Amino acid sequence: MTDQLLENTILLFVAVDPIALIPIFASLTKGLKNQEIKKIYIQATLVSLIILSLFWLFGETVLNLMGISMSSFRIIGGLFLIAIAFQMVFEQRQDRRQNTAEVAMDDSSIQSVAIFPLSIPLIAGPGAMTAALLLAENRTYESVDLILNFLPILVVVLMAGIAMWLSAQLSKRLGPTIITVVEKIFGILLGALAIEFVVAGIIESFNFCLLYTSDAADE
């Protein structure tokens, strides 16, 4: 259980990548009053938590209604996370995030920055949504297991909130080089975890096909 909790937390952490938020949030809020900055990071944290919680709660139900199995979603979700990992290793993701942030500041008010681009797509982006849905696969409805399964979402979103809160100080101390190195390390970790999801999905689909073929032969 502890190993699963740690793996889930790492998966969501590298998908959200709170450290990469530090320079982006610092540039987004440069020149604003402390009260305005506080309002933005609190709103962004709450909205992101709500979005990922909804995916965690209802994502699997939506897939079932659409006739999509979790093994199929695990394969496509893993491939999607591999693409994100590739972008992280080769610095494409950070550039895209920065461009999104700059566009938002050009044509949006300060009030909307907490929603776009901070909550969506920087914190609760496609990768984090995919990770939240994959977490829900192992969810049971026993109170302790339910809390432990949801805990990575709560912890990582709060870490993103803390990163935004400390962004001005951390961006100066860490510097772009350290942030880039950490981004690459997280990309490698995310890629390894994503491959595990793809392999597990393929094995599950293959076993299902064998079982279906065996049942058909018996009839």
pTM reported for the whole predicted model: 0.76
3-state secondary structure 99-159: HHHHHHHHHCCHHHHHHHHHHHHHHCCHHHHHHHHHHHCCCCCCHHHHHHHHHHHHHHHHH
**Any idea how long the chain is?**
219
Distance CA 187, CA 85 (A): 4
Task: Count Cβ neighbours within 10 Å for each residue of 118-144 and write b for 16 or more, e otherwise.
Answer: bbbbbbbbebbbbbbbbbbbeeeeeee
Per-residue pLDDT of the chain (219 residues), as tens digits, is: 678 888 899 989 988 989 888 888 887 787 778 888 898 999 999 999 999 999 999 988 888 898 888 888 888 888 888 888 888 788 666 566 666 655 555 444 555 788 887 898 789 988 898 899 888 877 877 888 889 999 999 999 999 999 999 987 787 777 778 877 887 888 888 888 889 888 988 988 888 677 656 655 555
Which of 59, 51, 54 lies closest to 77 in space, CA to CA? 59
